[in-house]
Structure 1
Amino acid sequence: MEEHTGKKNYEVDWNEYLPGVAIDCVIFGYHEKVLKTLILEYKETDFFALPGGFVLKDENLDEAASRVLFERTRLQEISLNQFYTFGSLSRFNPEPMRIVMQKNGLEPTKSHFLLQRFMSTGYYALVDFKEAEPIADFLSDSCQWYDIHDLPSLLWDHEQIIQKALESLRENIDHRAVGLNLLDDEFTMRELRNLYETILGKELNRSGFHRKMVNSGRLNRIGKKNTGKAHRSPYLYRFNT
């Protein structure tokens, strides 16, 4: 759902989308040892939710997820990881969306596309704060970064979706170059360890972490960082992916 700022009563042609199929994106961003995620705030409601969207009838599921990510951040060619499908009957509650639509000047019928039950596939992405441009959709006032430890109360099962995404990220942290979109192209081992500790929520043994990462084969050492103190300058690394 692309944004349409200032267009009260704006509607899209919902016949272009697959009924009952949704996507929820957990977009993680990292900055100064803080892990955050993007959250939408719906207009005039104090309702908060994950950025999401729907699948066009002529679109692959992964393509739809990439489109949703682009619409909310203006970022392209970002790795998206599908981690779970949420289909519990208990997640179906059309009333919040009915209120959101009414606050936006819309009077939906009971059978409106947005008020139906949806199965939602969850994707998570790791992005660079400095590169992302948070953009709200046409039903929302804002799209902002929130600390994952200080989230507002979210609609439906979106808190569960975030926790599931975080679990998946932690489980796969050694199988993906998780710093590829979160660190500068060249980084120190300490900067990489800070990222791992923030994601895992615990301190890591410095020498053990260094040894594991060097032996992983995922890093190239490219020289020392210029600090003006050669004997204390740390080595710089780059992902070899």
Structure 2
Amino acid sequence: MTQITIFVFMNLNDFYEKGAQLFLPNLSVDLVIIGYTDSKLKCLLLQLGDKWILPGGYILRTESVDDATLRILQERTGLDDPHFKFLSVFGGKDRKFTEEWRQFFKINNLPFKEDYWTNDRFVTLAYYSLVDFESTTPVIGNLDTAFGWFDLDQLPNMMMDHKEIVLTAKERLKEDVRHEYLSYNLLAEDFTMPQLHQLHQTILGEELDRSRFQKKMLASGMFERLPKLQTDSPGRKPYLYRVKKD
């Protein structure tokens, strides 16, 4: 079970009564959307009643999994071409959350039926996405009432198994940045090597030799130095870099 993406041509009743005709049953997508601000990693969550959930949605019968993931990300972040990477499958034999939804519907005076297709067991395909915090414009849906960015180390009360998914993404990100060049997705298009260095230290939770780190990044050949220096900080002015375009 996951957060619901409701299309404008569907009201809630049609979604629950007829949604199985449009979406693949028993399969959903959940997204751990990670931003970086004030030297901290943040996770985008949606408020549902007195709890919080991950952004997510269902897969149309007419689209691929990747297309569905991209669509949901674009809907939730307002980004045209957001980064995303497969995380894991969450599909325990008892992964259904009927009672949690029953209570939510009751509290909000919404009609509830046992045979709604969304009450069945669901397998979710989880992805994580690294986004530029300042460029992201989160959007809420029909059921959630607010969005919030939360420290990965200070998560709120969450529904279902979504906290487990977030913590899995946190550990995977640590592993991935040791072997892949992807953390730049958390920064603005133009950034300095000191900013990238600090970001890696935040992700890994450990200190990294600054000189060795910069040499490693530049040796990758992924980044190009811009002719202008950063001028909005005191002291030594570091060069700006950006990812080379194909």
Aligned with 2:183: secondary structure? coil
Give 3-state SS (helix, strand or coil) of 1:140's partner.
Answer: coil
Q: 1:208 to 1:58 in 2, by over 3 A?
A: same
Q: Is the 8 A contact 2:46 2:144 kept in 1?
A: yes
The question of 1:192 aligning with 2:192 is answered no
The one of 139, 142, 145 equivalent to 2:146 is 142
Q: Which residue of 2 aligns with 1:176?
A: 181
Correspondence 1:34 to 2:40 = yes
Q: Output the CA distance in 2 between the equivalents of 1:72 and 1:228.
A: 32
Quote the Cα distance in structure 1 between the aligned partners of 2:53 and 2:195. Answer: 31
* C-alpha distance after superposition, 1:121-180 (max 9, x if no partner): 001111112221122221111121111111102122111111111222222214133213
8 Å Cα contact 1:38/1:50 also seen in 2: yes
Q: Distance in 1 between matches of 2:11 and 2:45?
A: 21
Q: For the Cα contact (< 8 Å) 1:28–1:38, is it kept in 2? A: yes
Asked whether 1:101 is paired with 2:105, we answer yes
Letter in structure 2 aligned against 1:55 = I
Structure-2 separation of matches of 1:228 and 1:178: 23
Kindly indicate whether the alpha-carbon contact (under 8 Å) linking 2:230 and 2:240 is maintained by their aligned counterparts in 1. Answer: no
> 2:188 aligns to what SS in structure 1?
coil
User: Counterpart in 1 of 2:90?
Assistant: 86
Which segment drifts farther, 196-205 or 8-17? 8-17
Change (3 A) 1:63 1:228: closer
**Contact conserved, 2:95 with 2:123, CA < 8 A, in 1?**
no
* Aligned partner of residue 145 in structure 2, secondary structure: strand
Aligned residues: percent identity?
Answer: 35
**1:104 shift after superposition:** 3.8
> How big is the shift at 1:103?
3.5
Superposed CA offset, 1:84-120 (max 9, x none): 0000124323111122233343222211122111000
Is 1:237 matched with 2:241?
yes
TM-score (norm: length of structure 1): 0.89
- The alpha-carbon deviation at position 2 of structure 1 amounts to 3.9
> Gapped runs of 5+ residues in structure 1?
none
Tell me, in whole angstroms, the C-alpha distance in 2 between the residues paired with 1:201 and 1:168: 13
Indicate how the Cα distance of structure 1 residues 151 and 237 shifts in structure 2: closer, same or farther if over 3 A, else same. Answer: same
Distance 2:175 2:134 in 1: 26
Unmatched 5+ stretches in structure 2: none
Higher helix share: 2
CA RMSD of aligned residues (A): 2.5
CA shift, 1:9, in A, is: 5.6
CA contact 2:28–2:122 (8 Å) conserved in 1? yes
Letter of the structure 1 residue corresponding to residue 125 of structure 2? T
Give SS of 2:114's match. Answer: coil
Q: In the alignment, is residue 62 of structure 1 matched against residue 71 of structure 2?
A: no
TM-score by length of 2: 0.87
Aligned residues: 237
